[in-house]
Structure 1
C-alpha cells in the first residue's frame, strides 16, 4: 500500500467519523447525566465498527455486482411514476416532521422515555442490548449514504492488497471511524468534574430545543428526497 492510498483512507475515515452513527449519537450518549460507564460507550462503538467492517467485507466479496443487478432491474420500471412516488414520499416525510415537532413541543420540559432510557443504559442500571440495537439501527440508516466508506472500499479493492492485508486495512479504517468518539469518551472519564457541568448545560439546551431539532432533521430528509425527485423529473423530461 502506498503512502498516498494510506493518507486517502485516513482522510475518508475521519470524514466517516463525523457521521450520525459514529459521532452524533455517541455525543448524545455521553451527555447522559451521572458517572459514565466506559463499557457502555465501548459496546455501542464496537458494534458500529464491527457492522461497518462486515459491510466492507460484503462489498469486497462482490456485493457491488448484486447492487448493479438491482439497478438493472429497477431500470425497467417506468421512470416518471417511480419519481412521482418518490416525490410523494418526500412530501409525506416533510408533513410527518411537522407532526413530530408538534408532539415533541408538547412534551418539552419533561424527561421523555428516550432520555430515561439513555440514563439507564449509560449508568449501567439497564441492559446494554439496547445500545447494540441502537448501533445496528444507526448503521442501517447510514448504509445508503456512506459515500466516503464506499470510496474507501473502492480504493482498497483496486489496491489489490491480498485478503489478509485487505481485512486488516478495513479493520483499521473502522477503528479510525470511531476514534473521535472514543477520544471524547476518554476526556469525559478523565475530566469528569470539569467536563460534566459543560455537558449538562449542552444537554439542557438540546432538551429545550429537541422539538425543533427533530423537526428540522426529519424535514431535511424529506426535502432532500423531494428535490432529488423533482430534479430527475426535470432532467429526464423529453
Structure 2
C-alpha cells in the first residue's frame, strides 16, 4: 500500500462526506433539542457507520460472490416483481400521507426520536444510500483490485467510515460552542419540521419507491 492508494481512498471518502441525508438528519436531530442531541446523533452515526463497515467487509471478502448473487437475485422474476410491487406501493401510499395535527405531530416526534427511532433513521439512511454510494464502491473496488491483505484494507475501511461521518460530528461541536446563539433559529426550524413531518415522510417514501422501481425495471 502506497501514498497514491491513500490519496485515492481519502479523496473518495471526502466525496462521501457530502451526503445530504446525513446532514439533513443531523439538522433534524439538532432541531429536536440540545439536551439529547449528542446521544441521538451518536446512536444515528454509529448505526450508519457500522452498517457501511459491514457492507465494506462483505464486499472485500467476497466481491465476486456478492456480484454474482445480486445478479442472480434480480434475474429471478418473483424477486424482481416483488421489489417492483413494493416500490409501486411506497410511491402510491406517499401521496396519501398528510401532515398530522399539531398534537399528533408532537407525539410522533417524541416517539420516533427515541433510541429505536434514531436507529431506524440510521438503517433507512443506509438502505436509501447504499445502492448509490458510488465513492464507497469505488474505494472498495480499488482496494480489491490492488489485492490488499486484511491488515491493510481493514484500517483503510475504518478510516473511510470515520471520515464519512465527520461533517455531522463537526456540526455537533459547532452547535455545542454557539448553541445558545442560534437556539431561537433552531427552535423555529423544529416547529417547521414538526408541522411538515407528514410531508417529509411522504417525500422519503416517494423517493424510496422510485429507487426500487427503476432498479428492477431491466429485470422484469
Same fold per superposition (TM over 0.5): yes
* Count of aligned positions: 220
TM-score of the pair, normalised by structure 1: 0.74
CA distance in 2, matches of 1:17, 1:44: 15
Residue of structure 1 in register with 2:147 after alignment: 160
TM-score under structure 2 length normalisation: 0.79
Q: Which residue of 2 aligns with 1:114?
A: 108
Q: 1:107–1:145: structure 2 CA closer, same or farther, 3 Å change rule?
A: farther
* Cα RMSD after superposing both structures: 3.2
2:209 is matched with 222
Corresponding residue number in structure 2 for 1:42: 42
CA distance in 1, matches of 2:197, 2:107: 14
Contact 1:97–1:218, Cα closer than 8 Å, also in 2: yes
Alignment correspondent of 1:57: 57
Q: 1:212 to 1:137 in 2, by over 3 A?
A: closer
Structure 1 distance, partners of 2:111, 2:82, is 36
**Contact 2:74–2:80 (Cα < 8 Å) also in 1:** no
Instruction: State whether residues 83 and 216 of structure 2, in contact with CA within 8 Å, keep that contact through their aligned partners in structure 1.
Output: yes
Distance (whole Å) between structure 1 residues aligned to residue 14 and residue 136 of structure 2: 10
Distance 2:84 2:116 in 1: 36
Q: In structure 2, how many angstroms separate the alpha carbons of the residues matched to 1:214 and 1:73?
A: 29
> Counterpart of 1:172?
159
Partner of 2:90: 93
Aligned equivalents of 1:113 and 1:183: distance in 2?
30
Structure 1 unaligned blocks of 5 or more? 122-127
CA distance in 1 between partners of 2:123 and 2:211 (Å): 24
Distance 1:14 1:31, change over 3 A: farther
**CA contact 2:53–2:161 (8 Å) conserved in 1:** yes
Match of 1:208 in 2: 195
Distance across 2 between alignment mates of 1:106 and 1:43: 27
Contact preservation (8 Å) 1:108, 1:211 = no
CA drift of 1:218 comes to 1.9
Tell me how far apart the structure 2 counterparts of residues 223 and 43 of structure 1 sit (CA, whole Å). 28
Please name the residue that 2:180 is paired with.
Answer: 193
Write the distance in 1 (CA, Å) between the matches of 2:68 and 2:126.
21
**Secondary structure in structure 2 of the residue aligned to 1:111:** helix
* Equivalence for 1:135: 122
Gaps of 5+ in 2: none
Shift of 1:92: 2.4
Quote how far apart the aligned CAs of 1:56 are: 1.1
- List aligned pairs for 1:76-91, cutoff 5 A: 77=76, 88-91=85-88
Q: Kindly tell me: are residues 135 and 106 of structure 1, through their superposed partners in 2, closer, same or farther at Cα, counting changes over 3 Å?
A: closer
Instruction: Rate the CA distance shift 1:74–1:92 in 2: closer, same or farther, 3 A.
Output: closer
